[in-house]
Amino acid sequence: MRFLKMTLLLAVIFFTGSITAQEDNNFEISKSLEIYGDIMRQLNLNYADNINPGNLNQDAIDAMLKNLDPYTIYIPESKMEDYELMAKGEYGGIGAMIQKQGDWVVISEPYEGFPAQKAGLMAGDEIRVIDGDSARGKTTSAISEKLKGTPGTTVSVTVRHFGSDKDETYNIVREKVKIPNVPYYGMVSKNIGYISLIQFSQNAGNDVKNAFIELEKEHKDLKGIIFDLRSNGGGLLNEAVKIANIWIPKNNLIVKTKGRIKSNTHTYNTQFAAVDTKIPLVILVNENTASASEIVSGSIQDYDRGVIIGSRTFGKGLVQNVIPISYNSKLKVTIAKYYIPSGRCIQAINYFDRENGDGPSKVPDSLINAFKTKGGRTVYDGGGIEPDIKMKREKFNQVTGDLYAQNYIFKFANLYKKNHDSISGPGSFTISDSLFDAFKNFVGDKFDYKTETEAVIKRLKESAEREGYSSAIDSTLQLLNKELKQEKKKDLDKNKEEIKQLLRIEIVTRYYYQKGKVQSSLIDDPEIAKAIDVINNPTEYQSILNGTFKQDSNEEK
């Protein structure tokens, strides 16, 4: 009886405390709104110039939400259409990626089968005029806004094709453009299939399921599947559950959301019989694999259903809901954290427990907890999914990155397409040494990039001038610059293989679009090669799933 009384007393204290805290919050909200309204009125009456209340209000809201987490955002009525289109993975337009180059915005990649490509627009086309208005100096967002519109309407687009000095006008009927969730699936070896998923928009689950079933049907000796979630930032949670359900049986927990209020706590289980519970499965992830992608890869790992290869994922374990508010606007607000089957939350950044004005922080090692997979392997929370086999991402050399950033590779691919009607298939096209030499001639002496060594020499020269040592070391610095200039001429040859790789992918994209781009990028992909090795080695595959595998640190790439 005494224990019961104590329990009731504690419950009353807790309930009373909760009510008091809620009342305090309500008072602070009322007080803040009254102060905010007074400030806006006084600014409108007394400020030295006319104010724009709409812009001030947007700034105030943005500043307020900035102190929470980056996923809680205000969506005004003016941006509602763009948001709805992004949420559905579709929009009304001509179907092309664009980028700014100098004074003009150019087509960087038309989508196969959509209006821009069907009308004859190509990568490299400068957009000169849209519906009679000059496009010179316009931003990509301004041009994008003009190209988008209601499906069925017509937009007049004047372009200058790459290498031409004449303008051509196209009247293009806009369509509903839906970026495919699965841009490519196929075979990466004789009996190992591959599926690429780039987003979790509507029907992503069915798209992956259909791709897998098609691979099984066409290849009776299918030995394994590589499922590529690299750089997939996530999307709809229910689609993640459907995808996990392809390989995980019915009535198994995939994710649980836990919020501050009870209505935001939900459990999501698989609803159907799995398509296949036995076939070896490898999931590829990287540091940009996030949210719904982490639910899929994490649940596969927690049930010991497949092997994860790559680098640690992003670590987004927060759930958002979109709430309608006044004047046809909406608030996308973080309502909960999600927890995968082992019980771990993989959120990497703590946005909530801030003290003394501190900013968001990573979960410290001291607060990371161990959990167990279904088979007893140890896994951890506190920051993304740790792959079973870790591989470092290969970084391009600076010269290669600068060639790409300065559009030399992009423009050479345009030139190649202009002079060649066709190429061999995306899986067989290669860059010959003679074609690489043609690229070097194309680049010529126009290509200018600054190395870190040059920056050091420049700082040394400035320091010498400031400290009075110029006369003593100036000749040495001049000699260093001369030698460095000669050495830089060899940089293209020294980085020949990685430059060839980018050239091959860019040229293939001109002919085979998004599918070809993915297919060509798989040819010399070290993570694909490792996944194939693991699937072809059943002993290693099983040792990973039963926890006996130990990766040699020297083998981590």
Clarify whether 18 is annotated catalytic: no
Is the distance from CB of 253 to CB of 268 less than 8 angstroms? yes
Nearest to 131 by CA among 115, 149, 147: 147
Between the two ends of the chain, the Cα-to-Cα distance in Å is 64
Query: How far is Cα 244 from Cα 298, in angstroms, rounded to an integer?
Result: 10
Nearest to 481 by CA among 467, 460, 466: 460
The SS3 assignment for 337 reads strand
Clarify whether 421 is annotated catalytic: no
Give the CA distances from residue 158 to residues 126, 177, 197, 329, in Å, rounded to whole numbers and listed in that order.
8, 21, 34, 35
| DSSP bridge partners of 372 | 378
Q: Compute the half-sphere exposure of residue 454: CA atoms within 13 Å on the CB side of its CA.
A: 13
Clarify whether 291 is annotated catalytic: yes
Q: Which of 108, 196, 201, 291 is catalytic?
A: 291
Strands 389-390 and 307-310: parallel
Q: Which of 302, 381, 388, 491 is catalytic?
A: 302
Nearest to 342 by CA among 305, 311, 310, 367: 305
The SS3 assignment for 21 reads helix
| DSSP bridge partners of 285 | 310
- Indicate the burial class of 374 (C-beta count within 10 angstroms; 0-12, 13-18, 19 or more): middle
* H helix intervals, 47-99: 53-66, 80-88
Q: Which of 138, 209, 316, 517 is catalytic?
A: 316
The size of the chain, in residues, is 557
Is the distance from CB of 276 to CB of 348 less than 8 angstroms? no
| Residues annotated as catalytic (active site), given as ranges | 291, 302, 316
